[in-house]
Amino acid sequence: MNRPQTVEKMIDIVKKLPGVGPKMAERLCYHILKMSDSEAKSFMDAIQNARQKVKVCSVCYNLSESDPCPICSDNTRNKELLCVVESPQDLIAVSKVKNEDYNGLYFVLGGALSPLDAIGPKDIRINQLITRLKQDDIKEVILATDMDSKGETTAVYLAQLIKPLGIKVSRLGYGMPVGGDIEYADEVTISKAIAGRKEM
Amino acid sequence: MNRPQTVEKMIDIVKKLPGVGPKMAERLCYHILKMSDSEAKSFMDAIQNARQKVKVCSVCYNLSESDPCPICSDNTRNKELLCVVESPQDLIAVSKVKNEDYNGLYFVLGGALSPLDAIGPKDIRINQLITRLKQDDIKEVILATDMDSKGETTAVYLAQLIKPLGIKVSRLGYGMPVGGDIEYADEVTISKAIAGRKEM
C-alpha cells in the first residue's frame, strides 16, 4: 500500500524545507490536507502575498515591502554606523535592541564565508559592502556575524578589507549571555567573560 | 523595526502548523521567500494538487485519490479482518507489514477519545465503524490505536461496543520493540514483555 501519488509528491517537496525530516513532512502534509478550504486559502494566500510583496532593499539587502526599506529611509538614524549581519533574521534580532544602544544602519551579507561548503567571498555580498563603504560616509562598521567559526572567519576577512578604507571596525563583544548559567557555560565563553570583566 | 507585514502574517500562519514553533516558522518562511519562482511554483502546486485530488474513502475513511480507495477495492484482501487505526498515517504504518502478516481491511477513526481535549465518541467515527461492522461480514477487529492512554481508552471503549455484535476483538500485543535497547526500555514495557515471553 502506498500513499496517493499527489500526497507522496507533496511530502517529497515539503521534506526539502530546512529542519523538516520525513516524519515531520508527513505530519505537516496531513495537517494541510485536513485544513478546511478557507484555512487552506489563508495559508496559501499568506505565502503568495509575502512572496509577491517582499523585495530585497537595494541599499542594505534586507527584506522589505518598500525599496529602500524603512530602516534605510529613516532619517533619524545615525548614518555613520553600519552593522553587518549574515541574514535578514539576524538583522531583526539586532534591531530589537534599544535605540540608545544601536541606532545605525545595516547591511545583510546573505551568508558567511565557508570554505567547506564552497562559499567564498564572491558568494556573499562583500563587493557590494565595500562599494557602499566607499560611497557612504560611514565611520564605524560593527561586525555582527555569528560567533561561530564561519561568522568569525567572515569577520576577520571583512576587517582586513575595511580597515584600509580608514573606517573603524568592531566586533560584538564575547562574554556570558544575560541570564546565562555559569554551570553550563563552555570554558571558552567563561575565559572570554573573564578577559572582558567589568569593575563593579 | 518590525518585519514587513506580509512576512509577519506568513509567519503567524506557518506557526500554527503542528510541531512548528516561532523560530522554526521564521526559518521556513525565510526559506520559502528565498525560493526561486519555479521552486515556489512546484511547492505551491504540490500542495494544491494534493488538496484537490485527495478525497476521503467513503468505506474506510483513508485518504485516497479514488473512492473507494485501492485497499477497499482490492479483492485479494481478507474481507473478514478489519484493522482500526486512529489516522491515515497510522494506516500507512500498519500497511507496511508483509501480506502474510496482515492482509485485511482498514478503518480510520480520525482520532482517539480524549476527555481532557473534549473529544468524545461523537467526535470520532465510532458510529460509522459500528454501522460498517453491522453491514459487512467482519469476523475479527484488530484495534491498532496508539499504545498511549488515549489510544488505550479508545480501544477499551470500542471493545465494549463491538463484542456484543459477536465479532472477535483483539489489540496489538505489547512487548519490546524490535531492535529495542533493554537499558532504555521503561519498566512497564519490560513487564509486558516478560508477561508475553515466548519459549525458544
Q: Alpha-carbon torsion B87, B88, B91, B92, what sign?
A: negative
Q: Is B4–A50 a contact, with Cβ atoms under 8 angstroms apart?
A: yes
Give A-chain residues touching B86 at CB under 8 angstroms: none
B77-171 to CATH, choices 1.10.10.10, 3.40.390.30, 3.40.1360.10, 3.40.50.720: 3.40.1360.10
- The fold of the B5-53 domain, in CATH, is Helicase, Ruva Protein; domain 3 (1.10.8)
Distance CA A48, CA A43 (A): 9
Of B130, B195, B115, the C-alpha closest to B169 is: B130
Distance CA B27, CA B11 (A): 9
Q: Is A27–B89 a contact, with Cβ atoms under 8 angstroms apart?
A: yes
| C-alpha cell belonging to residue B75 | 479483492
CATH number for the segment(s) A76-171: 3.40.1360.10
Domains of chain A: which residue ranges? 5-53, 76-171
Q: Is A19–B24 a contact, with Cβ atoms under 8 angstroms apart?
A: yes
Residue type, B10: M
B188 CB-near residues (< 8 Å, 6+ apart): none
pLDDT tens-digit series, residues A151-174:
999 999 999 999 999 999 998 888
Q: Is A54–B4 a contact, with Cβ atoms under 8 angstroms apart?
A: yes
Give B-chain residues touching A44 at CB under 8 angstroms: 44, 47-48
ipTM over the 0.95 cut-off:
no
Lowest mean pLDDT among A73-77, A169-173, B14-18, B55-59: A169-173
Distance CA A64, CA A71 (A): 10
pLDDT tens-digit series, residues B65-99:
999 999 999 999 999 999 999 999 899 888 888 88
Give B-chain residues touching A99 at CB under 8 angstroms: none
Chain B: nearest CA to A194, how far in angstroms?
A: 31
Site from A47, A48, A54, A63 to mutate, B interface, most B CB atoms within 10 angstroms: A47
Of B135, B130, B137, the C-alpha closest to B163 is: B130
Specify whether the CB–CB gap between A157 and A185 falls below 8 A.
Answer: no
Q: Which residues in chain A come in under a pLDDT of 70?
A: 1
Chain B: nearest CA to A197, how far in angstroms?
A: 31
- At B142, the pLDDT band (50, 70, 90 cuts) reads very high
Angle of helix B37-53 relative to helix A22-34, nearest 10 degrees? 60
Residue B1 has pLDDT above 60, yes or no: no
- The pLDDT > 70 percentage for chain B reads 100
Mean pLDDT for chain B overall: 91
Give B-chain residues touching A67 at CB under 8 angstroms: none
